[in-house]
Structure 1
Amino acid sequence: MLAQQMVALAEQDRALLDELAASGEIPSADYHPRVRALHQANAERLSAVIDRHGWPGKDTVGEDGSEAAWYIAMHAVFDVDFMQRCCSALIQAVAAGQAPGRQLAFLEDRIRVLTGRPQRYGTQFEIGDDGWPVPSVIERPDDVDRRRQALGLEPLSSRLARLRGPGLAGPDDWLRRSA
């Protein structure tokens, strides 16, 4: 039941984003009020789950439910304190084998970028002057691939190559594919 709830919340999020993208309402410079309201409601539900069960890991909600919980946490950008609470719970879940390390890398990096700090794993990107995605500032970039490997991520150069992947003639192709 809990697993289904987590998955349903994430599916509602994706459906709303798809709907608003199709109507041209997003992307926009502002946080769309319907998206924010849904993200807040989902975060409240996830917070209650964490209060009762800790991070919803594989044994509690299965891999799909755990992935959905992570997705919800990643979208709680309006409340960095809540995201940090999720990150603390996720650290324990990763250590216990209840969640994949990549979830921790992405969440920690998102928090760091949102708070103006360099990311550790190179998971967060921005659009460079040439129109292509470039990693946001990385703490100790010479060690990034070691940190990425420790949490199950491919080397950053491989990730960048995939982002600029085959069949993309230029940044406009990448933007169309990522929309």
Structure 2
Amino acid sequence: MRRLSIIAALCLATAAFGQDDIALQQAAWEKAAEARQDALVKLWGDGSNPVLRRKLNAMYLRDQDARKFMMALPPDQWTDSQERRRQETDTALTVQLKEIVKTFGWPTFRLVGMDGASQALLILNHSADHEWQREMLPQLEKLAENEEIQAADFAMLLDKTLVASGKPQRYGMDFKFIDGKMQMYTVEDLQHLADRREHVHLPPLAVYKHMLAEIYHLKVTDEVAQPEPLKP
């Protein structure tokens, strides 16, 4: 059974594109992504710790269950109780992930396979502990450079952390919900954004924007939002 990174799985779950050029970009990216995922699975299998991999999978399923309303309803229809449950889930999963990292180190391909490594990064990405996210960045960047975790998954975390610090993002992965639409937060060195995305195996920006529109049922505009640092 083919396995996909978090980002690849989301992209492949979207509907067919209406524009031919975007559809061609999607098809080319999907083909390359599938080959890359197959190679990683062949190399690492399920990793050396299947018990930990299953635990991370259970944590991931809990994370996704707490967010299913976000995929079914536009943001203006999200209720306070749904948001509260999501936040409580994120807090509990952060505690679990910290204990895993303390005991085993960061979950890499070698330890928990491709799925487990991506699921661990997604849980960290959803954490409200922004200080811990920042503390983990140097180690995770090195792991990504050494191809021990997915560079695309790290890119998503890095962008979220930069935006939370009030800085321009690097890969164009973080968007803002505003007035019933979505805007990309400002990006550093926009001229070379496409090259950076390709380097870490992210889909072209037009493909990613279409994916977001399909997931959140909102129009993704070409307007740019300015990052504002989160209050401690």
- TM-score of the two chains, using structure 2 as the length reference: 0.62
Which sections of structure 1, spanning at least 5 residues, go unmatched?
166-172
**2:185: which partner in 1?**
136
1:33-79, CA deviations, whole angstroms, 9 ceiling, x for partnerless residues? 33222211211121122223322011101111112101110110x21
2:66 alignment partner, SS class:
helix
The one-letter code sitting in structure 1 at the alignment partner of 2:173 is T
Which sections of structure 2, spanning at least 5 residues, go unmatched?
1-50, 220-232
Structure-2 change in CA distance of 1:158 and 1:33 (3 Å): closer
2-side partners of 1:47 and 1:22: how far apart? 30
Q: Which protein, 1 or 2, shows the higher relative CO under an 8 Å CA cutoff with sep ≥ 6?
A: 2
Contact 1:54 1:89 (C-alpha < 8 Å) held by counterparts: no
The one-letter code sitting in structure 1 at the alignment partner of 2:104 is H
**2:202: which partner in 1?**
153
Structure-2 change in CA distance of 1:21 and 1:134 (3 Å): closer
Q: Give 1:85-96 correspondences, 5 Å limit.
A: 85-96=135-146
1:121 Cα offset (Å):
0.4
**1:107: which partner in 2?**
157
Question: Of the candidates 55, 65, 68, which is equivalent to residue 119 of structure 2?
Answer: 68
1:80-111, CA deviations, whole angstroms, 9 ceiling, x for partnerless residues? 11112333332122122121110111000011
1:56 corresponds to 2:107 = yes
18-27 or 111-120, larger mean C-alpha shift: 18-27
The one-letter code sitting in structure 2 at the alignment partner of 1:88 is P
Contact 2:182 2:218 (C-alpha < 8 Å) held by counterparts: no
Structure-2 change in CA distance of 1:86 and 1:15 (3 Å): same
Q: Give 1:157-172 correspondences, 5 Å limit.
A: 157-163=206-212
1-side partners of 2:186 and 2:74: how far apart? 30
- TM-score of the two chains, using structure 1 as the length reference: 0.78
1:3 corresponds to 2:53 = yes
1-side partners of 2:105 and 2:169: how far apart? 25
105-114 or 156-165, larger mean C-alpha shift: 156-165
Contact 1:55 1:93 (C-alpha < 8 Å) held by counterparts: no
**2:87: which partner in 1?**
36
1-side partners of 2:60 and 2:184: how far apart? 26
Contact 1:55 1:86 (C-alpha < 8 Å) held by counterparts: no
Contact 2:197 2:203 (C-alpha < 8 Å) held by counterparts: yes
1-side partners of 2:143 and 2:206: how far apart? 28
**Aligned residue-pair number:** 167
